[in-house]
Amino acid sequence: MSSLPHAQISARLVDWHAQHQRLLPWREARAGHRDPYAVWVSEIMLQQTRVETVIDYFNHWMTRFPDVEALAAADLQTVLKAWEGLGYYARARNLHKAAQQIVTHHGGQLPADRSALLALPGIGEYTVGAILSIAFNQPEPILDGNVKRVLARLFDIDQPINEPATLRKLWEMARSVVESAPTGMAGDCNEGLMELGATVCTPQNPRCLICPLLDVCAAARIGKQAERPILPRRKQTPHYDVAAGVIWAGEPFRSKLLLAQRPSDGMLGGLWEFPGGKLEPHDADLPACLRREIAEELAIEIEVHDLLTTIRHAYTHFRITLHTFHARHIAGEPQTLGCQAWRWVEMTELSAFPLPVTDQKIAAALNEARLSLQLPSQ
Active-site residue 195, yes or no?
no
The pLDDT of residue 3 is: 47
Catalytic residue among 43, 84, 293, 297: 43
Mark the ranges of the chain whose per-residue pLDDT is less than 70.
Answer: 1-4, 375-378
The pLDDT of residue 2 is: 46
Strands 272-273 and 257-261: antiparallel
Residue 296: what are its φ and ψ, rounded to 5°?
-70, -35
**What does DSSP assign to residue 216?**
G
The pLDDT of residue 5 is: 79
Q: Is the pTM of this model over 0.85?
A: yes
Long-range own/partner contacts, residues 343-350 (CB < 8 A, 24 or more apart): 343/258, 343/259, 343/261, 343/272, 344/249, 344/256, 344/257, 344/258, 345/256, 345/257, 345/258, 345/259, 346/256, 346/378, 347/253, 347/257, 347/377, 347/378, 348/377, 348/378, 350/259
